[in-house]
């Protein structure tokens, strides 16, 4: 690959990070205004941009660059990026925002791009589906919906499911399913990633049920720092070979955005509040601008009651995507779930919420939802 490093000042990245025996490296230094012209003229396969402040000029330059090089991977190196910058950069066409210019981090990103350019091997099978769940905003019920969906799917003993809490910095997925703390968290797995196999996964994951396992979110700042895009990509690649479904609770940060390319499906969960509608529209646009297949994005609306002022049809027109599933409001059940550490569908199995979750799980797994027998309809058990 021809790799171009463009920065505002000298970028003393060692050649070892790029492996100049495999790749041709071009270092460029200059103002932001010259970035698109100079980089496009060099004919790169991969571009890393570093050393510029967050501004409209930066986004404009990146958008121009990505439009001129549609098949080229462009990455922005930016320490502690704000969510607004992440979203704008991805909308501009940037492949990834790297939060560190550390040699190992850059080398890992280059290796990922090279793997994607080479394409998957025809003989490799992906036995497990990887599905991400992202809230339009906090409080929309995404984590609760994911927890209950996983609990419902796990009722089928023939399925093996893994939950990964990637809602950083500190997720709370386990609160809807258990009161027990896991022995290992997401950051702790990083120390074992090189030898992670089926038996070790069985040993390290938290077994909520015999066929529903979980990797908890980081429990400390030290473990949080171990979670990088390269590590998450390797973890997902390994785990999906040992589970039928890998279900990931996502946030809106650099780590979660880098994981989007690995998903078989993204479920966007939102409520009908104005802030949620606005953010859902932005995420839908972001998904399209990143070149992901529209059919892999589904929209789920939560906390729906009979008093919602906006019809679902109007909601769909506003966000620009058809609603695939509606989950009714269930205040008491959710509160009880958090207090007891059990899924809402377990505590209130006859609620409308539980029925909606059951229908969702049946559709996802391709299984029919069992109806009432004639004896049940007559009130005879």
How do residues 51-101 score in pLDDT, each as one tens digit?
A: 998 889 999 999 999 888 887 889 999 887 777 888 888 888 888 888 788
- Token pair of 9, please? 């000042």
- The per-residue pLDDT for 123 is 37
Q: Strand, coil or helix: what is 120?
A: coil
Instruction: State residue 308's pLDDT score.
Output: 62
* Cα angle 14, 19, 23; round to 5: 120
Instruction: Report, at the CATH architecture level, how domain 2-118 is classified.
Output: 3-Layer(aba) Sandwich (3.40)
Lookup result for tokens 């959710």: 334
Q: Write down the pLDDT at residue 345.
A: 92
The highest-level CATH class for domain 129-365 is alpha beta
Collapsing DSSP to helix, strand or coil, 91 comes out as: helix
The CA distance from 302 to 325, in Å, is 9
Residue 25 to residue 19: CA distance in whole angstroms: 9
Buried-state track 9-36, b at ≥16 Cβ within 10 A, e below 16: eebebeeebbeeeeeeeeebeeebeebb
Instruction: Grade residue 368 by pLDDT with cuts at 50, 70 and 90.
Output: low
Report domain extents, the chain: 2-118, 129-365
CB 209 within 8 A of CB 175: no
Instruction: Dig out the tokens for 364 from the structure.
Output: 């996802």
Angle (nearest 5°) at CA 101 between 225 and 24 = 135
Strand partners for 134? 268
Average pLDDT over residues 223-245: 87
Give the model's pLDDT for residue 290. 81
Share of the chain above pLDDT 70, in %: 92
pLDDT at 147 over 80: yes
Please give the DSSP secondary-structure letter assigned to residue 182: P
Is 374 a residue whose pLDDT tops 70?
Answer: no
Q: How many other CB atoms are there within 10 angstroms of residue 278's CB atom?
A: 14
Joined tokens for residue 293:
């297949």
**Residue closest to 100 by CA, chosen among 201, 224, 229:** 229
Over residues 290-327, the pLDDT tens digits come to 888 888 999 999 887 766 666 788 888 888 889 999 99
Report the mean per-residue pLDDT for the chain.
85
What is the rounded average pLDDT of the residues 32-51?
90
User: Do 2-118 and 129-365 come out as alike in CATH topology?
Assistant: yes
pLDDT band at residue 21 under the 50/70/90 scheme: confident
Percentage of residues in the chain having pLDDT higher than 90 = 35
pLDDT at 373: 44
pLDDT tens across 114-144, in order? 776 665 443 344 468 999 999 998 888 899 9
Q: Please give the pLDDT value at position 377.
A: 44
> For residues 110 and 322, what is the distance between their CA atoms, to the nearest angstrom?
37
Query: Is pLDDT above 90 for 43?
Result: no
Q: What is the pLDDT of residue 176?
A: 93
């Amino acid at each position: 690959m021809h790799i171009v490093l463009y920065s505002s000042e000298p970028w003393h990245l060692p050649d070892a990070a790029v492996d100049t025996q495999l790749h041709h490296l071009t270092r460029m230094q200059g103002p932001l205004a010259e970035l698109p012209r100079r980089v496009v003229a060099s004919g790169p396969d991969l571009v890393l941009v570093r050393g510029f402040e967050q501004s409209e000029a930066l986004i404009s330059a990146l958008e121009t660059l990505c439009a001129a090089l549609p098949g080229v991977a462009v990455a922005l190196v930016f320490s502690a990026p704000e969510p607004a910058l992440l979203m704008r950069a991805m909308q501009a066409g940037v492949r990834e925002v790297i939060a560190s210019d550390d040699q190992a981090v850059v080398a890992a990103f280059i290796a990922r791009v090279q793997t994607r350019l080479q394409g998957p091997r025809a003989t490799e099978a992906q036995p497990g589906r990887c599905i991400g769940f992202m809230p339009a905003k906090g409080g929309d019920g995404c984590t609760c919906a994911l927890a209950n969906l996983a609990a419902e799917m796990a009722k089928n003993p023939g399925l093996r499911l893994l939950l990964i809490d990637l809602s950083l910095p500190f997720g709370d997925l386990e609160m809807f399913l258990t009161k027990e703390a896991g022995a290992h968290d997401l950051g702790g797995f990083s120390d074992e990633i090189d030898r992670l196999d089926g038996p070790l996964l069985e040993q390290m994951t938290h077994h909520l049920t015999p066929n529903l396992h979980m990797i908890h979110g980081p429990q400390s700042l030290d473990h949080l720092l171990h979670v990088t895009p390269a590590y998450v990509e390797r973890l997902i690649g390994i785990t999906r070979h040992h589970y039928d479904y890998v279900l990931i609770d996502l946030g809106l940060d650099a780590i979660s955005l880098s994981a989007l390319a690995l998903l078989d499906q993204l479920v966007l969960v939102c409520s009908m509040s104005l802030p949620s509608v606005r953010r859902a529209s932005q995420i839908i646009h972001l998904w399209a601008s990143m070149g992901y297949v529209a059919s892999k994005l589904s929209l789920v609306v939560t906390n729906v009651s009979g008093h919602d002022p906006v019809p679902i049809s109007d909601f769909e027109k506003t966000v620009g995507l058809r609603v695939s599933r509606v989950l009714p409001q269930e205040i008491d059940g959710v509160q009880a779930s958090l207090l007891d550490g059990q899924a809402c569908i377990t505590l209130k199995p006859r609620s409308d919420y539980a029925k909606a979750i059951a229908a969702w799980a049946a559709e996802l797994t391709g299984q029919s939802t069992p109806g009432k027998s004639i004896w049940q309809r007559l009130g005879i058990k």
